[in-house]
Chain A
Amino acid sequence: MRLLRPGTGLSIGFALLSAWFLWQSFGLSPVASSVPRVVLILTLVLLAVEALKSGIHVSGRADAALPDGGDASGPVPSNENAGPVGRCLAWIVLLPVALGVLGLLIGSTVYCLLFLRWRSHEPWAFSLATSCGLGLLLYLLYAVVFRAAPYAGLLGL
């Protein structure tokens, strides 16, 4: 049971961003602020209309994937593989951390191994082979073929 319409958080986020930008625009010269101000006011008005049209408070409906690239006609979800969004997001946030510390080549390899083994529960052999293969491919592409220096990370690897 939820009290807020799905997407209310997103609408509030957009409205706050627009309001903050609008506030900031008053510190700019007329040339730099005229077009942004018109767009920001229009966006805020449209957000208000959208909120009124959809109704802020609804109940008893969970988030539903809506068509934007075909979700409506997509495959039936099998919930055994599903995870809470927070945990899924944590796995994604781990990626910049791994690349930032270990660099592009080592970071990508380690991240891929961790993901395959502990998120996808693949066997060790498959996880190791895939992650090392990916790391090797990236090394060959960037360092050998295209000679584009891969991002080194904090440890300079």
Chain B
Amino acid sequence: MDAAWEALRLVLSWPYIVYPIAGTLLAMAFSATPGLNSASLMALAIPVTIAWDPLPVMLLFGAFVGGATFMGSITAILFNIPGKASNAVVLLDGYPMTVQGHAREAIGAAATSSALGATVGVLMLVVMLPFMRSAALALGPAEYLMIAIWGLTTLAALSGGSLLRGLVAAGLGFQLAFIGYDPRTAELRFTFGLDYLSDGLSLVPVLLGLFAIAEVLDLMASGRETLAPRRTPDPLRGRVGGGIRAVFRHFPLFLRSSVLGTVIGAIPGIGGSVAGFIAYGQASQTAADPSEFGKGDVRGVIAPEAANDAKDGGALIPTLALGIPGGTGTALLLGVLTLHGLTPGREMLTDHLVLVFVLIWSLFLSNWLTSLLGIALVNPMARLTTVRAGRLIPVILVLAAVGAVQYRGLLADLVCAVVFGFIGYRMKRVGWPRIPLVMALVLAPLFENSLHLTLRLHELGRIDFWSRPLVIVLLVLTATSLVLPVMRARLRAWRQRGG
């Protein structure tokens, strides 16, 4: 406790307070710039900060981790363009809210959910740190496989009322994920003989194509004048306060999603994108009235946003306690810790506990700062949805193209984005859901690798699938998320019949 207060005193003291603020602003700028992200910012900052003391480095990198998540949700809500895969699920209900003129409310809900979700993540990080070593040893490929399967059960919720088409889109996502080298045999699979595809399809051009370019193509072909409706005198009639209040109105949902996000974020190798998808699926499957999900329900914004931001705190648990990074950002953070002579694990949690708390406070501060700035910027950004489409389209197109090209310096990524743009446009026009495709693309590698490893270990007699408690827990959760919506629907039908 003393270490936590000492760390807070340091974070709030001059000149150290400048580092998390500057780090947050930089992370926001990088995550809002096409082709750049917080990982590239961290990579650029490593050589600059190598001679610094560990304290300002912790402050800066904590802010880099926390400051980047929320910006991608703003573009997802306003323009149907997710900043990264983890923001894709927010557009399911966020963008319909914008189209209905409730962009401010959606961003208010997302910002509040994001800040409070991060707070829950950080609190859970502090509570769980001492127990993490034994918990991490309980995780193996069987648990990873069950998490992937659990994630896939949310397909029904992500399919927008057409489960069959959602399943086909997920099948297509799986197929696309199989492209490239097989990780076990190093055989090339389904590359059409193209060198570009040997490393597999990159998620960035696929996302930019399926959403940004498809949206622009739809806007051009439909002849819509603006993104937001012009039928009413005030197309931006929603209020930020309405969004903030909505989070407190659905507080149990918010809390459940935050805990879920932290737990999933704490599992190394799962990836943050999964947290938002599972949280959305859970929100829809456990809702008393799920009929408005996908049509602009604020609960569909609150749940994934809370999980997305809570996962940042969760991702730090294995990084600090075990030295196992959860993703690219935490891998770079681990490199920074090592460069400054800090070894994650027991030493880090005893001898350098103040520095650990400095990192945690910085993450906490940056999440709140991002949300506050997001709310402050909501009006000018929401006004963009009323700008004439003819003026907005070339700017969106150029930014999407820059994002695709600058990501790896390959023009082929832009060509790939254009191809997926056309596919996304056709899918949108004929009512095929696109989110299941993205979710399958994210989950497929985890599913395939874990399945092979589990089967192999089972063959060798190294694991007994049914004797692992976490597998049973995940199996129960999977079965619940499949059965609960059906039971609720039947109960509703029975009540409507007057039973």
When the two chains form the complex, which single residue of A42, A49, A78 contacts B225, counting CB atoms closer than 8 Å? A78
| Chain A, range 114-128, C-beta contacts under 8 Å to B | 115-116, 119-122
**Are B231 and A43 in contact, with the CB atoms below 8 A?**
no
Q: Decide: A151 and B411 in contact? CB cutoff 8 A.
A: yes
* B220 and A10 contact, CB distance less than 8 A: no
Closest residue on chain A to residue B96 by CB atoms:
A70
Nearest neighbor of B44 in chain A, beta-carbon distance: A146
> How would residues 70 to 105 of chain A score, 1 for a CB under 8 Å from any chain B CB and 0 otherwise?
111111111111111100110111011001100010
Inter-subunit contact A115/B428 (CB<8 Å): no
- As a 0/1 sequence over residues 133 to 153 of chain A, the CB contacts with chain B under 8 angstroms (1 = contact) are 010001001100011111100
Contact yes or no, B430 A6, CB < 8 A: yes
Of B221, B295, B398, B405, the residue contacting A83 (CB under 8 A) is: B221
Number of A residues contacting the other chain (C-beta, 8 Å)? Answer: 80
Residues of A close to B33: CB separation below 8 A: 141, 146
Q: Give how many B residues have a beta carbon under 8 Å from the other chain's beta carbons.
A: 86
A120 partner residues in chain B, CB cutoff 8 A:
388, 390-391, 393-394
Q: A74-B224, A79-B223, A96-B414 in contact; A7/B185 too (CB < 8 A)?
A: no
Within 8 Å CB of B432, what residues of A? 7, 10, 68
Select the residue from A40, A91, A151 with max chain B CB neighbours within 10 A: A151
Interface string of B145-184 (1 = CB under 8 A from A): 0000000000000001100110110011011001000101
Q: Does chain A have a CB within 8 A of B133?
A: no
Within the assembled complex, what's the spacing in Å between the Cα atoms of A126 and B164?
Answer: 47
Q: Is the CB of B397 within 8 A of A92?
A: yes
Complex interface residues of chain B between 285 and 313 (CB less than 8 A to chain A): 294-296
Contact check, B224 vs A67: say whether CB atoms are below 8 A apart: no
Write the nearest CB–CB distance from A152 to chain B, whole angstroms: 9
B36 cross-chain contacts in A, Cβ below 8 A? 146, 148
Check if A99 sits within 8 Å of B411, measured CB to CB.
yes
With contacts A28-B189, A96-B411 taken as known, whether A70 is within 8 angstroms of B95 at the C-beta atoms is: yes
A147 and B40 CA atoms in complex are apart in Å by: 12
- 0/1 interface trace, chain A 22-45, chain B, CB 8 Å (1 if under): 001100110111011001101100
Known: A35-B451, A46-B167, A46-B168. A96 touches B418 (CB 8 A): yes
Question: In the complex, A138 Cα to B34 Cα: how many Å?
Answer: 10
Q: How far is A10 from B168 in the complex, measured between Cα atoms in Å?
A: 12
Least distance between B389 CB and chain A CB atoms (Å): 7
**What is the chain A residue whose CB lies nearest that of B167?**
A46
Contact of A121 among B100, B294, B390, B414 (CB under 8 A): B390
Tell me the A1-35 residues at the B interface (CB within 8 Å).
Answer: 6-7, 9-10, 14, 17-18, 21, 24-25, 28-29, 31-33, 35
A43-B172, A93-B418, A108-B402 given as contacts; is B221 within 8 A of A24 (CB)? Answer: no
**Alpha-carbon distance A95/B422, docked complex (angstroms):** 14
Q: Are the C-beta atoms of A95 and B224 separated by less than 8 Å?
A: no
How far apart sit A1 and B36, CA to CA, in the bound complex (Å)? 47
B175–A40 CB distance below 8 A:
yes
Specify which chain A residues have a CB less than 8 angstroms from the CB of B35 in the assembled complex. 148
Bound-state CA distance A6–B296 (Å) is: 25
- A112 on the B face (CB < 8 A): yes
**Which of B15-23, B210-218, B259-267, B483-491 lies at the binding interface?**
B210-218
Would you list the 6 A-B pairs with minimal beta carbon distance, nearest first?
A82-B223, A70-B96, A66-B431, A7-B430, A43-B171, A120-B390
Some 6 contacts from A to B, beta carbons below 8 A apart, are: A49-B164, A68-B434, A69-B80, A108-B398, A119-B394, A146-B33
Known A73-B99, A92-B397; further 20 A-B contacts with Cβ < 8 A: A7-B432, A10-B423, A10-B426, A28-B182, A32-B182, A32-B185, A35-B178, A35-B448, A35-B452, A39-B178, A69-B92, A70-B95, A77-B223, A83-B223, A92-B216, A92-B421, A111-B394, A115-B393, A120-B391, A141-B33
